[in-house]
Structure 1
Amino acid sequence: MIGDEESIGQVLNRLRRAQGQLGGVINMIEEGRDCKDVVTQLAAVSRALDRAGFKIVASGLRECMTGDAADEAMTVEQMEKLFLALA
């Protein structure tokens, strides 16, 4: 399970953004755009996918942590920042 409706919405928004960016990269390559521009956009797609993945992981951990064992559960945003710091 990915998480609550808010988390699912955020993940879907990030994935849709990445999908649009990837379409842009494909168009750039088809148009013969400069390599530097293509790589820059490709890196943005990669970051968007990473953020979506971290959000999924963070949401899953939150569900685990909000059970009986956690007195002071971290927020999804706090866990996400930790994962991004490791990336």
Structure 2
Amino acid sequence: MAALHNDKSRNDILNRLKRAEGQLRGIQRMIEEGEPCLPIATQMAAVRKALDSTYVRMTMCFMQQQMEEKLSCAGQEPENMDAMLEEIETLLGKIR
């Protein structure tokens, strides 16, 4: 399987993961300090959503990269690809 080659996309995904990592550390601290379960559960849900969102973003970056590569090999210009990928990303975001 191919890796992400776009530095901007790779950095975006890494930054999202670092934010989720910070949230996880915050949850660990909350548990250590004996915080109530409801705020902990709320933070856990936020981390899950952040990771789901990051997964969708990574998938979209990979799809775009692969489509551009295949189209350029075929000598075709990608028409309306950005709009199509935005629609796909929106649809994928709704299955979470």
| TM-score by shorter chain over 0.5 | yes
Indicate the larger mover: 17-26 or 58-67: 58-67
1:4 Cα shift? Answer: 1.0
* Cα pair 1:25 1:41 within 8 Å, conserved: yes
Q: How many residues align?
A: 87
1:86 Cα shift? Answer: 2.1
Q: C-alpha deviations, 1:35-76, integer Å up to 9, x for none?
A: 100000011111111111111111111112223264331369
SS across alignment from 1:86: coil
Hey, what's the Cα distance between the residues in 2 that align with 1:14 and 1:76?
23
* Cα pair 1:29 1:38 within 8 Å, conserved: yes
Hey, what's the Cα distance between the residues in 2 that align with 1:43 and 1:77?
26
Percentage identity across paired residues of the two chains? 32
Call closer, same or farther: CA 1:20–1:48 in 2, change over 3 Å: same
List alignment gaps of at least 5 residues for structure 1.
Answer: none
Call closer, same or farther: CA 1:3–1:47 in 2, change over 3 Å: farther
Provide the alpha-carbon RMSD of the alignment: 2.0
- TM (norm. structure 1) is 0.85
Hey, what's the Cα distance between the residues in 2 that align with 1:41 and 1:5?
30
Write out aligned runs for 1:3-14 (5 A). Answer: 3-14=5-16
Hey, what's the Cα distance between the residues in 1 that align with 2:25 and 2:62?
29
Hey, what's the Cα distance between the residues in 2 that align with 1:64 and 1:37?
41
Letter in 2 for 1:38: I
